[in-house]
Structure 1
């Protein structure tokens, strides 16, 4: 007969007891980890963009960010980091911790152009980020000062050709979509114009309004108020099809510059290494935001076409934009160093 002291375990049972306790500890840790992860987000999220306030990217980011805040229960703080064709904001977001608390509103077409036009970049949208969701297309429109004596694109081309090198075009910055659209326009039409880059629409528009610049491809949200006031005249939209809010304005292609198309894709990306569960949470919040009828109506009134695109599909669209605009940069012989 084996006697056992009260309160002590039989020697042969001790390993089993230890394994059970270890399992309980691991289970508790896993549970705590799941609870901690489920708490995301537990503080404000920074939404970085590469352009200054008042432009299309800023308007879109603030509108979508506000709706995302309602869904996530945390504030979305917009951080404007303009300059270097969008590279400053891109690099800032790429270096952030991949924890879901810094995300990037990507002007994809612009990023594709900059990647091809600059020899060296400190960050790359495809290599250093993961897609969260596509959010919109924001087509640009070709605008001129109302003082310019032309009414359509054909007249504009003739006007410029009559005085080669005399006139200039404004852009949102060297290496931006606004810049390259004009370079492609020049190459396709044979006009000779001087490029004057600015840091975003807000800085370019005063000179365009005053007639010191002769044309600009600009975002609809930024330029439309001046079109409505009669200070600017819109000649065409850069997209492949007409814009809903401007049904009577032709595309550049319809105006005689065949093959011209720039749809200006936007979406939200996160630094590479951001957990899949965090990406899923953000994606769901974006989808909820874009389903808001009030937001859709408000953005459509400014020429922004909202559309939720899941991460995988959006990633393929980003790849296509990089291929397309890489070829356009090469054709236009644009190099920025």
Structure 2
């Protein structure tokens, strides 16, 4: 009977051990959640390599990797005015390991042109933070016998229908800027869309296309090489890197204004804790003086804003560009 008397104590000890094991398991589980990120992070962009979005995403990604202690890998998924990359990121698991680096102005335009997009930047994502903006500029071949917007307009009007303009693709900011420029100045030109700046700019250089609106970041190497000329910037104010290049408004072309903004997003459903971790890291990256200086030298203005502030910017851009697209009667065809 004495042996049996130890049985309840044994059960008690066993029960205690089970509680300890369960508690340890819970602690491990909580610790695993708190350890985000514990593997590489993928950042999807909707444009091909070497363009402004790619350059900016890789610069920010490299510094985010340092802040987060994990690799940040940029994946290019161009096409359909940004819809391919957007939908791919929206379908990703909301666990913080797939993010979307958005050209928000471009996406707002695409959302108005492509009515049946499989994903929405406003509905399927959580904004993490604003990254900054990269102004677009009106560029022409260095061989074109014009030196300002007035001379360009006279040159194009002299032979209506004989000139082409290039763009980064149908439904991109580059496309819409040109459409507005052509319409407001009574020009007759043919649109030739490409899959990004890298494919388009060579045809501007060789004269196959007489003009293009492209990011300062993407076009700067060719401009420095004297193969392209800047005639104006499409931003609301002059660009610090190009102080002598007027805005389109200053050059006499009104209502073609775009501050080409960029932001970082996570798929809808991502936990607030992960969003906060990413936002804190992103803020430190964007406010880094060295990054600001290096990107300014490439035509990009780094400027952080919170997730809620970015959300308001995106909503306003969708409303504004939706009205512009409708008024200009621009379609994907």
- TM (normalized to structure 2)? 0.93
Deviations 1:123-162 (A, max 9, x none): 1111111101110101100000011111111111121112
Deviations 1:282-308 (A, max 9, x none): 111111111222211110001100011
1:151-190 equivalences in 2 (<5 Å): 151-190=147-186
Which 4+ residue blocks in structure 1 deviate beyond 2 angstroms? 5-10, 19-34
Gaps of 5+ in 1: 11-16
Q: Distance in 2 between matches of 1:260 and 1:27?
A: 62
The answer to whether residue 315 in structure 2 is matched with residue 319 in structure 1 is yes
Task: Give the aligned partner of residue 260 of structure 2.
Answer: 264
Deviations 1:216-265 (A, max 9, x none): 00011111111111111100011000111111111011111123210011
**Structure 2 residue aligned with 1:287, among 283, 286, 307?**
283
Task: Give the aligned partner of residue 79 of structure 2.
Answer: 83
Task: Give the aligned partner of residue 216 of structure 1.
Answer: 212
Task: Give the aligned partner of residue 273 of structure 1.
Answer: 269
SS at match of 2:128: strand
Task: Give the aligned partner of residue 193 of structure 1.
Answer: 189
Deviations 1:97-132 (A, max 9, x none): 110000000010111111100121111111111101
- Deviation of 1:34 (Å): 2.4
- TM (normalized to structure 1)? 0.92
Task: Give the aligned partner of residue 298 of structure 2.
Answer: 302
Gaps of 5+ in 2: none
The answer to whether residue 91 in structure 2 is matched with residue 95 in structure 1 is yes
Moved more, 326-335 or 44-53: 326-335
Q: Contact 1:107–1:265 (CA<8 Å) still a contact in 2?
A: yes
Q: Distance in 1 between matches of 2:267 and 2:82?
A: 16
- Deviation of 1:23 (Å): 8.4
- Deviation of 1:31 (Å): 3.2
Q: Distance in 2 between matches of 1:297 and 1:6?
A: 78
Q: What RMSD over aligned residues (CA atoms) do the two structures have, in Å? A: 2.1
Task: Give the aligned partner of residue 116 of structure 1.
Answer: 112
